[in-house]
A and B are shown apart, each in its own frame.
Chain A
Amino acid sequence: MSMLTVIMDAAVNMAPFAKMGAGIGAGIAAIGAGIGIGRIGGSAMESIARQPEALSDIRSNMLVAAALIEGVAFFAIVICLLILFI
Chain B
Amino acid sequence: MKTFNHHILRALFFLALLFYSSALLAEDSIPGKESGKKKGEESFNAGKMIIEHITDAHEWHIMTIGKTEVTIPLPIILIDNGKIVTFSSSHLGQEGYQYKIETENGPNKNKIVKVLPNGTTDINAKLPLDFSITKNTLSLFFSLILLCVIFISVARKYTRNPNRAPKGLQSVLEVLILFVRDDVIKPSIGKKYERYLPYLLTLFFFIFFSNLLGIIPFFPGGANLTGNIAITLVLAVFTFVITTFSGNKSYWVHLVNAPGVPWWLKLPIPLMPIVEIISVFTKPFILMVRLFANISAGHIIILGFIALIFVFGNINIGAGYGASVISVAFSVFMGLLELLVAFLQAYVFTLLSSLYFGMAGEEHEHHEEKAH
A-side interface residues toward B, CB under 8 Å?
60, 63-64, 67-68, 70-72, 74-75, 77-78
Contact = CB atoms under 8 A, between A and B. Distances in A.
A64 B347 CA distance: 8
Contact of A63 (B183, B289, B290, B344): B344
Contact of B297 (A64, A68, A72, A74): A74
Contacts of A71: 286, 289-290, 293-294, 348
B289 A64 contact: no
A63 B348 CA distance: 9
Contact of A74 (B289, B344, B348, B351): B289
B145 to A, nearest CB: 29
A17 B348 CA distance: 36
Contacts of A78: 289, 292-293
Contacts of B297: 74, 77
Given A64-B348, A64-B351, A70 B289 contact: no
A75 B292 CA distance: 10
B345 interface: yes
Interface of chain A, main secondary structure = helix
B346 to A, nearest CB: 11
Nearest to B340: A63
A78 B292 CA distance: 9
Contacts of A70: 290, 294
B293 A77 contact: yes
A64 B349 CA distance: 10
Interface in B286-318: 286, 289-290, 292-294, 297
Contacts of B292: 78
Given A60-B183, A67-B347, A68-B348, 5 more contacts: A63-B344, A67-B345, A71-B294, A71-B348, A74-B297
Interface string B126-159: 0000000000000000000000000000000000
B293 A75 contact: yes
Contacts of A77: 293, 297
A72 B348 CA distance: 13
B109 to A, nearest CB: 12
Contacts of A60: 183
Contacts of B286: 71-72, 75
A75 B344 contact: no
A72 B293 CA distance: 10
A65 to B, nearest CB: 10
B183 to A, nearest CB: 8
Contact of B293 (A63, A64, A74): A74
A79 to B, nearest CB: 10
B42 to A, nearest CB: 21
Contacts of B183: 60
B156 to A, nearest CB: 32
Contacts of B347: 64, 67
Interface in B317-363: 344-345, 347-348, 351
A11 B109 CA distance: 29
Nearest to A68: B348
A71 B345 CA distance: 10
22 contacts: A60-B183, A63-B344, A64-B347, A64-B351, A67-B344, A67-B347, A67-B348, A68-B348, A71-B286, A71-B289, A71-B290, A71-B293, A71-B294, A74-B290, A74-B293, A74-B294, A75-B286, A75-B290, A77-B293, A77-B297, A78-B292, A78-B293
B289 A75 contact: yes
Instruction: In the A-B complex, list the 8 residue pairs whose CB atoms are closest, starting with the nearest.
Output: A74-B293, A71-B290, A67-B348, A75-B289, A78-B293, A67-B344, A71-B286, A78-B289
B316 to A, nearest CB: 29
A73 B345 CA distance: 15
A77 B347 CA distance: 22
Contacts of A64: 347-348, 351
Nearest to A75: B289
A43 B289 CA distance: 27
Contacts of B344: 63, 67
Interface string B174-214: 00000000010000000000000000000000000000000
